[in-house]
Amino acid sequence: MRLLREEFDRSPELARFLPFFIFVLLTACQGLFGADGKYWMYAAKTLAGVWLIWEMRPFVTEMRWAFSLEAVVVGVGVFVLWVGVDPYLPKNHIFFKPTPDDVWNPMARFGEGSIMGWFFVTVRIVGSSLIVPQLEETFYRSFLYRYFVRINFRALPLGTFHVTSFIVTSAIFGFMHYEWFAGILCGMAFQWLVIRKNRLGDAMLAHGITNFLLGIWIVWKGDWQFW
C-alpha cells in the first residue's frame, strides 16, 4: 500500500487513471466465474473500489463531494433521459454482445425476495451510487477532459471549456455504455456541471443521484436490462 501511495504521489496521472483502470478490469472479469460468481465479483469489485478511493483520495484534491441545486436537477434529469429514450434508440453492439445470461438479476438467480437477492441489489445500488461516481468522474471529467487539452492537466482550471475535448470525452464516456446515446448526453451534462461550478463534486453528486434513481427504478419496475 505504501508503494502505491508513493506512485500516486509522484504521478498525478496515475492517481487518477490506475484506480479507474483496475475497476474497469474487475468489471470485465465479472462474467468469468459462473452464474453466481458475477454477483460475488461485483461485491468484491465494490470493496476494491472503496480501497482504491481510500488510496487515491489524498492525492486527488478535487475528488470531494459537493451539493448544488444544479447537481440535483442534472442527476434527476439524466435518470429520466436514460429511462425515457431507451426503447427508441439502438444499443452499442460494437463493444457489448449481451446474452440473456448477462442480465444482472439477483432476484431471479437467488429467489424473489430472498436475503441473498436483496443483499446483491443493495450492494449494486450502493456501489453504483457512491463508488462509481467518484472513480468515473475523476477519470473522465477531471483527468481525461483536461489531459486532451494540456499534458500538464492540473494547470488547466476545471471550469475551462474546450469544445473538442468536451465532445470527445463525452463520446468516449458514452461508448463505454450499452446505452451509448444516453451515455453521451449524460457525459455532456456532467461535464457541463464541472465547467459551470469549476469543481468536480457536483458532477459526482449528479452521477450518484442518477445511478441511485436508476437502481430504484430497476428494482421497482423489474427493468433488469439496465444492469
pTM of the model: 0.95
Asked if residue 137 is part of any domain, the answer here is yes
* Domain-located, residue 143: yes
In a domain, 47, yes or no: no
CA-nearest of 152, 160, 123, 97 to 39 is 123
What pLDDT is stored for residue 93 in this prediction? 80
Q: What single letter denotes the amino acid at residue 219?
A: V
Torsion of CA 83, 86, 87, 88, to 10 degrees: 130
Residue span of the structural domain in which 182 resides? 63-226
Question: Burial, 77: exposed, middle or buried (Cβ in 10 Å; 0-12, 13-18, 19+)?
Answer: middle
Q: Is 190 part of any domain? A: yes
Quick check: 1 pLDDT over 90? no
- The answer to whether the CB of 124 falls within 8 A of the CB of 42 is yes
CA distance 64 to 194: 12
- 41 half-sphere exposure, CB direction, 13 A CA radius: 17
Cα 124 from chain centroid (whole Å):
12
pLDDT reported for residue 145: 98
Which alpha helices (DSSP H) does the chain contain, by range? 2-10, 12-28, 34-56, 69-85, 106-110, 115-126, 132-137, 145-147, 163-175, 180-197, 201-221
Q: Domains in the chain: how many in total?
A: 1
Is position 54 within any domain? Answer: no
Domain-embedded: residue 24: no
Confidence band (pLDDT; 50, 70, 90) for 99?
confident
pLDDT 10s digits, 20-76: 999 999 999 988 888 889 999 999 999 999 999 999 999 999 999 999 999 999 999
End-to-end alpha carbon distance in the chain: 32
Whether 31 is in a domain gets the answer: no
Domain-embedded: residue 15: no
